[in-house]
Amino acid sequence: MKTLLIVYHSQSGTCAGLARAAWYGARQESGVEVAVKRAWDAGTADLALADGVMLVAAEQSGALSGAMKDFLDRTFYPAIAKSLVLPYVLLISAGNDGRGAQQQAQRILSGYPFPAAAEPLIVRGELCAAHEAASAELGQAFAAGLSMGIF
Ligand SMILES: Cc1cc2nc3c(=O)[nH]c(=O)nc-3n(C[C@H](O)[C@H](O)[C@H](O)COP(=O)(O)O)c2cc1C
């Protein structure tokens, strides 16, 4: 049994909805347990229990949202000390851009070093059915890859 950890930060609900959809998609894969944690509550111990991590966060002021940055800052050196190398996928919610958050997250994650299991997904604007479907698809694809040992 593999474990997929979904870590999210949501100030006004959009990323929470995306994380919920990703959780729903990932749950369709029988060989994977899915744990969901708010970024403020997640730590290195959660990463150590996981086989892959999905990060769901917003772009704020051209950068990664504060709680997700805090999560990465808190776990960076402890993860390196434990030699944790987890495949990750990144889902960014943004009003009209998202590229700043994406670049910042990718740069930080390359330092762990965590390999990307898929291209980052940026969804722009308010949460809608299409965004939920894309998030569910990404969650399911990541879980399927973990289950099959692709990543
Ligand atoms: C303080 C603040 C700063 C923001 N800065 C950006 C930004 O730089 N670029 C962008 O595309 N959207 C920006 N947004 C919009 C958010 O990324 C967008 O509303 C997102 O869906 C919020 O996710 P959440 O509801 O999970 O908090 C900003 C929102 C807030 C509240």
Digitized pLDDT (tens) for each residue of the chain, 151 residues in all? 999 999 999 999 999 999 999 999 999 999 999 999 999 999 999 999 999 999 999 999 999 999 999 999 999 999 999 999 999 999 999 999 999 999 999 999 999 999 999 999 999 999 999 999 999 999 999 999 999 999 8
Pick among 3.30.530.20, 3.20.20.80, 3.40.50.360, 3.10.580.10: CATH of 2-148 = 3.40.50.360
Which atom of ligand 1 is the closest one to the Cα of 96? Answer: 11
pLDDT at 124: 98
Note the Cα 9 to chain centre separation in Å.
10
pLDDT at 116: 98
pLDDT at 22: 98
Q: Hey, whose CA ends up nearest to atom 12 of ligand 1?
A: 95
The rounded distance, in Å, linking the Cα atoms of 63 and 13 is 18
Q: Hey, whose CA ends up nearest to atom 22 of ligand 1?
A: 58
Q: List CB contacts of 83: < 8 A, sequence separation 6 or more.
A: none
101 lines ligand 1 (CB under 6 A): no
Tokens of 75: 């776990």
125 lines ligand 1 (CB under 6 A): no
